[in-house]
C-alpha cells in the first residue's frame, strides 16, 4: 500500500511540486499531518498526497501564474495552524 503521508523517501520525492514555495508548503504540510488529522478527517483539508496532486495539477494543467504566491500564503497560514507542540519542562 502506498505511503499516504509521503514520509518515505520516494513518496516524499513524489510530493514535490517543482516550485520552491510549493515544495516548502507540502513538506510542512506532511510534517503537520498529525496535527491536521482532525481537519483532514472532517473534510476541511486534504491528505498530503491529495494536496500535492492538486498543486501539481494547478502547476501543469491550469498553469496558474500565481501559484508560487498562493503557496507562500498557504505556508504562512499553515505555520499558524500547525505550531510545534510545546514541551513542558
pTM score, whole prediction: 0.77
- 86 belongs to a structural domain: no
Residue 88 burial (C-beta neighbours within 10 Å; 0-12, 13-18, 19+): exposed
Q: Would you say residue 89 lies in a domain?
A: no
For the chain, first and last CA: distance in Å? 39
Q: Is residue 22 situated within a structural domain? A: yes
Query: How many structural domains does the chain have?
Result: 1
pLDDT digits (tens, 9 = 90+) for 57-73: 999 888 888 999 999 99
Enter the C-alpha cell of residue 52: 500535492
Grade residue 7 by pLDDT with cuts at 50, 70 and 90: very low
Amino acid at each position: 500500500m502506498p505511503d499516504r503521508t509521503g514520509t518515505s523517501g520516494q513518496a516524499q520525492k513524489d510530493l514535490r511540486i517543482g516550485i520552491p514555495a510549493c515544495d516548502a508548503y507540502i513538506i510542512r504540510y506532511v510534517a503537520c499531518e498529525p496535527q491536521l488529522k482532525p481537519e483532514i478527517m472532517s473534510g476541511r483539508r486534504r491528505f498530503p498526497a491529495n494536496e500535492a496532486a492538486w498543486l501539481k495539477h494547478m502547476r501543469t494543467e491550469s498553469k496558474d501564474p500565481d501559484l508560487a504566491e498562493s503557496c507562500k500564503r498557504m505556508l504562512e497560514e499553515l505555520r499558524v495552524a500547525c505550531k510545534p507542540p510545546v514541551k513542558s519542562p
